[in-house]
Structure 1
C-alpha cells in the first residue's frame, strides 16, 4: 500500500478544518495555517478563531493513518502539548478516516476530531458541531476485506479459540496452516486497530468482540458452488445416516449455518439441512443421505468450497457429527436474514462469551 504524503495530508487537513469552521455564521474571523515542521513545534496546525467577540486558539495533530494505535499515540502527544501551554487551547485530531473506535478514543481523551470523510466533533466556547457519516471509505473497506480473506481468517479463528493466549508468529503460522507473511500481515492489522496487544510471550486478542463485530459487518460467505438436493430421510433416520457418513469414505463434510447451530446452540428448527463439503464429500453425502438433485423443493443445500481451509476449524459436538466452529456458524447465521440474525445472537450468547 502506498504511504500517504504527510505534507499533503496536512494541507488537506487545514482545508477541511477551514471549510468546517467557515460554515458557522457566528465566526467573525478565521486563520488556519500549517505549522513549520520543526522538532519542537508539537502540533501540525494552528487556527485562530474569533466568535461572539471572543478569541479562541485551536491546535491540531494530523495523522496520515487514523487507526486506533496511531490515534492513541497522537492523543497522548496532544495532551502533553496542551498541558505545557500557558493559555487555553482546544486540541483537535485530524486524519483521513477515523473509525467509531478511534472516535471513541478521542472522546475518552476529551479531544475534538475531524476526518477527511466529514466525520467531526468540535467544541470550544459556546460553539459545538457534531457530524457522523456511516459509510467507510474505499481504503478502509479494502483493508478489512484483506483481513478477512480465507488465509487470514484461518489465523483469526485460531486466536478466537483462546483470545487470552499469547502467540508467537511462527507458532501461529504453523497452527493456522498459513505462511509467516500472512500472520505478519494479520498481526499488523490487529495491532493497528488495537484488537490485539503484545505481551512478553507474544500477541493476544485484547478485544475479541470488536474483532467479531467488524468481521460480521464485512463478512462474505465462503466461495463455492451451491448445490441443492432432496433427501427422503427425516428425523432419527436422517441423523443415523449423517453419523454414518462422517465415519466412512473420503472427502470432507461439515454441517453449517442453521444445521450446525442445532448442535451448538439450538434456537429454532428449519426444514433444510446445510453443509459445506469438498467434491468427494458431496459424493459421500449423495450416497449416504440418498440425495437426488432438486430444482425446487430442496431440503439439503451443499456448498462445495473453493478453499478448504474452513475445514481446519470444525468441531465435533457429538460422536459422528462434524460442524463448522461457533465463529463460522455465527457469521453464516448473521448473514442469513432476520431469522438467522436472531439465531446468531443466541449462539453468540451461548458459545462466544469471552472473559473480559
Structure 2
C-alpha cells in the first residue's frame, strides 16, 4: 500500500496507484514497493515509496504524477526537484510519455513509468535497473487529428530551421518554404511544446535544437513513408548507376550512404538511395531491373520536392543537403541509422560548412 503525501486530485491518486501497481509487476522476484511513514514526506513531490531488495537493503522513490507531460516540461521538473534527487530516485508517472519526452527524462537521469508500459528505472542503492518499451503513440489521441512532422509542409519548415544559423521568423519561414504563415505558427508551437526550439520575449526564436529536430522528423516520418519507394538491381555496380545519372536529364539527388560519404565516410556503401521525380520512368530509362531481394538501388519518388532543397553538386553529381541525408539515414535499412548518427556528429563539428 502506498500513502499519498499531500492533497491531490482523485485522478492523480489513481495514477499513482496504477503506476505503483505497474512497477510491482516489473520488479524481479523478492523485490517489494512499500509504504513510508507520512512524516518522511517531501512536499515537493506527490508521494514517496520504499523500494526493498530481497537482502533487506532499501531505497526511496520520489513519485511525481502528471496527467500529461511534454518534452519542454522536463527541465522545470528537474529544476524543482533538484534538492531531493541527491537522496531519492525521482520517478515520473503518466498515462503516456512520448519517445522524445522519454529521451529528455533519460538525459536528465529521471526515472519514468507510463501506463502503456514504457518504463525506465535506475536505482543505485539497492542496485536495480528496469527498462521496457510500451506504446509508441498515445492511445488517447486515436481519432483526433493532430499536427505532426509527417506532413510535407511541416518538414519543409523543419529543414529551413535546421539549415539556418539564425532562426528565421514566422514570415520569413513562410516565404522560404512557400507555406502559409498560420501553418508555420502551428508548427513552431508544436516544436516549442517538444522543447526543440527556444523562444524569448514575444515568441521570437532564440535557438533550435537541430540534432533533436532531425531525429524527431525521422521518427515521425520514416524514409519510405515520404514517397513511393521501389528497389532495383544495377548489376554493374553503384558507380555505373551514378555515371548514368550524371549523363541523364533526370531530376535526382543521391541521399543515404552515398550522400553521407561526401561529408563523413564510414563503411563502403552497398545500397544507392536516390530521390527521383518519377521512379518508374527513371528506372526504365536507366535500364534498372526491379528486384525485391539482392537489390542495390532504392529509388524514392518524393511526396514533396522539398527533398531537393539545398541540394549540392560535387564532380557533376547531385547530392541532397546534409540535413536531408541525415534525416533519411536515420530510418534507412541496414547500417543507415548508425551512419545517420555519424553524419550528425560531423554536422555538429562542422556547422560552418553546411548551415547558411
Name the TM tier (shorter chain).
0.5 to 0.7
CA 1:317 to 1:352, structure 2 compared with 1: closer, same or farther past 3 Å? farther
| Residue equivalent to 1:338 | 334
Distance 1:49 1:235 in 2: 63
- List aligned pairs for 1:1-356, cutoff 5 A: 7-17=10-20, 20=23, 30=35, 45-47=46-48, 60-78=63-81, 92-96=91-95, 97=97, 99-107=102-110, 113-116=112-115, 117=117, 119-121=119-121, 129-139=128-138, 146-162=148-164, 164-200=165-201, 202-218=204-220, 219-221=222-224, 222-224=226-228, 226=230, 228=232, 239=243, 242-243=245-246, 245=248, 252-261=251-260, 263-265=262-264, 274-279=273-278, 291-292=286-287, 294-295=289-290, 302-311=299-308, 313-318=309-314, 320-341=316-337, 343-345=339-341, 347-351=343-347, 353=349
2:15·2:65 contact (CA, 8 Å) conserved in 1?
A: no
Change (3 A) 1:348 1:174: same
Q: 1:193, CA displacement in angstroms?
A: 3.0
Q: How far does the alpha carbon of each residue in 1:30-83 deviate from its partner, in whole angstroms, 9 at most, with x for none?
A: 3799xxxxxxx9657345769799999976442222223213223434458x69
Would you say the 8 A contact 2:113–2:120 is kept in 1? yes
Task: Say what the alpha-carbon RMSD is for the aligned residues.
Answer: 5.0
Q: Are the equivalent residues in 1 in contact too, given 2:329–2:337 (CA < 8 A)?
A: yes
| Alpha-carbon separation, structure 2, partners of 1:243 and 1:43 | 64
Q: Is the 8 A contact 1:92 1:113 kept in 2?
A: yes
Question: Which protein has the larger Cα radius of gyration, Structure 1 or Structure 2?
Answer: 1
Q: Give the TM-score normalised by structure 2.
A: 0.66
The verdict on how the C-alpha distance between 1:43 and 1:21 changes in structure 2, with shifts beyond 3 A counting, is: farther
CA distance in 1, matches of 2:283, 2:22: 64
CA contact (8 A) 1:231 1:291 kept: no
**Matched position secondary structure for 2:306:** helix
What is the total number of aligned residue pairs between the two structures? 323
TM-score normalised to structure 1 length: 0.66
CA displacement 1:265-311 (0-9 Å, x = unmatched): 555665875432224x975x579xx5336345987654333333323
Deviations 1:70-100 (A, max 9, x none): 13223434458x69xxxx9886543232503
Stretch deviating more after TM superposition (62-71 or 48-57): 48-57
Contact 1:254/1:314 (8 A) holds in 2: no
CA distance in 2, matches of 1:54, 1:27: 11
Q: Distance in 2 between matches of 1:306 and 1:175?
A: 19
Partner SS, residue 183 of structure 1: helix
C-alpha distance in 2 between matches for 1:103 and 1:340: 24
| Pair 1:71–1:244, CA change in 2 (3 A) | same
Quickly say closer, same or farther: Cα 1:29–1:203, change in 2 above 3 A. closer
Rate the CA distance shift 1:208–1:75 in 2: closer, same or farther, 3 A: same
Structure 1 unaligned segments of length 5 or more: list them: 1-5, 34-40
- For residues 152 and 102 of structure 2, the distance between their equivalents in structure 1, rounded to whole angstroms, comes to 24
On the 8 A contact 1:167/1:202 being kept in 2, the answer is: no
Aligned equivalents of 1:354, 1:230: Cα separation in 2: 34
1:3 matched residue in structure 2: none
Q: Are the counterparts in 2 of residues 31 and 48 from structure 1 also a CA contact under 8 Å?
A: yes
